[in-house]
Amino acid sequence: MKKEKPTPTPVRRCSVGGQAVMEGVMMKSDVGIAMAVRRADGSIVKSYQKFRSKAQKGTFWGLPVVRGVVAFVESLKTGMDTTTKSAELYGEGFDEEPSKFEKWLADKLHVDIMNVVTGVAAVLGVALAIGLFMFLPQLIASLIFGKAVSGAADKFYVWRALLEGFIRVLIYVGYLFAVSCIKDIRRVFMYHGAEHKTIACYEAGEEELTPENAMKYKRLHPRCGTNYLFLVMAVSIIVLTVIDVIMHALGFPPANMGRAAMFLIRFGVRLICLPLIAGVSYEVLRAAAKTDNWFTRIIRAPGMALQLITTREPELDMLEVAIYSFYLAMGEKNPLEEKKLAEEAARKAAEEATAEEATAEEATAEEAAEAAAKTAKTAEAAVTEEAPSSEPASEDAE
């Protein structure tokens, strides 16, 4: 078994990040979003669209923490769009005739019905995530420590917050283990590994970016979204515990409120703090990915360990797809594609030359046959003229 190269300190750092999709890889750079998908017939289809994040330097959206919130929202939208687009590129688009209700909606609202469906799916996905990672942990902690009471009277406010965070992490890890058991998801995780190996090979700057060379690198990467989501979980424990300490000191919520109202107020405070948590987690991830020392390695360690679940060892053809997407996102020429196009052009030229030779040989054979036929006819005519008459000779009468 070949020993993998560790992910090195980048020689040429790039800002490209990616996402595994159905039978392909999406790569996003500062200027555009690229996607490459391998179809069932073995061909690779590509897609590219210009993209520029709102989190630009010198603007409000580009401020620290704020840019993390922007990046989180943009990644959610990009994730939904690329998932749908990858299915279309693979060839699983739906060409069914829209129903009367869909036509009526499109006519009245003047919108594409697919955009509406995608939007609704995104809202439901966010709602499910909030329910699973925010509401459920708080509910379980309340059942263990008792229903939420006033801030001043809650004796277990610190333990309650810590337990909520611990349950949140357990749900996240359990979810990853569960989906990794699905066959199709395991294949997506293989493309996830291909994405990481491709970026690591490019950033190392030691070898040409080819599937064989990329295969040598580890499938774990410090800028992975898995790291980010774990940091969100970890930072949420710290931030929400501090918030509960402040609420306890202020005696909020007050004791004259109903317990159900107190529960909902604590839940509402947690929702309000989500953008702050996302922004702080983003800054921690950026800082930990820029340097490599014992402290940053400790911060990255849990997320890197979880990548052992969310990534799998890819195949060479998967790495080829990831490289196609990477070069397209970078706006650079793809040596693999150029080589394949040159080979295809040479093959077609050889086929055409062979066809021309066959046509020429066939024409020559036909000419030779015609010449032989003419020669045979000439010889037959000559023989006919020289042959003696078959009539009997007459005798002279005396």
- Residue 193: per-residue pLDDT: 95
pLDDT 10s digits, 52-72: 888 888 899 999 999 999 988
pLDDT 10s digits, 263-275: 888 899 999 999 9
Is residue 2 over pLDDT 80? Answer: no
pLDDT 10s digits, 105-117: 666 666 666 666 6
Is residue 395 over pLDDT 50? Answer: no
Of residues 125 and 298, the one with the higher pLDDT is: 298
- Residue 361: per-residue pLDDT: 74
- Residue 177: per-residue pLDDT: 92
| Whole-structure pTM value | 0.79
- Residue 323: per-residue pLDDT: 95
| pLDDT tier, 367 (very low <50, low <70, confident <90, very high otherwise) | confident
Q: Could you give the CA distance from residue 299 to residue 198 in angstroms, rounded to a whole number? A: 24
Q: Which amino acid is at 35?
A: M
Q: 314: Cβ–Cβ under 8 A, 6 or more apart, which residues?
A: 190, 191, 193, 194, 197, 215, 219, 322
CA distances from 302 to 76, 146, 197, 227, 284 (A): 23, 31, 19, 8, 14
- Residue 142: per-residue pLDDT: 85
Chain mean position to CA 327: 14
Please provide the average confidence, as pLDDT, over all residues in the chain.
83
Domain range summary for the chain, segments of one domain joined by +: 17-330
- Residue 398: per-residue pLDDT: 38
pLDDT 10s digits, 182-216: 988 999 999 999 999 999 999 988 789 999 999 99
Three-state SS letters, the chain: CCCCECCCCCCCCCCCEEEEECCEEEEECCCEEEEEEECCCCCEEEEEEECCCCCCCCCHHHCCCHHHHHHHHHHHHHHHHHHHHHHHHHCCCCCCCCCHHHHHHHHHHCCCHHHHHHHHHHHHHHHHHHHHHHHHHHHHHHHHHCCCCCCCCCCCHHHHHHHHHHHHHHHHHHHHHHHCCCHHHHHHHHHHHHHHHHHHHHHHCCCCCCHHHHCCECCCCCCCHHHHHHHHHHHHHHHHHHHHHHHHHHCCCCCCCCHHHHHHHHHHHHHHCHHHHHHHHHHHHHHHHHCCCHHHHHHHHHHHHHHHHHCCCCCHHHHHHHHHHHHHHHCCCCHHHHHHHHHHHHHHHHHHHHHHHHHHHHHHHHHHHHHHHHHHHHHHHHHHHHCCCCCCCCCCCC
pLDDT 10s digits, 302-340: 999 999 999 999 999 999 999 999 999 988 888 888 888
| pLDDT tier, 178 (very low <50, low <70, confident <90, very high otherwise) | very high
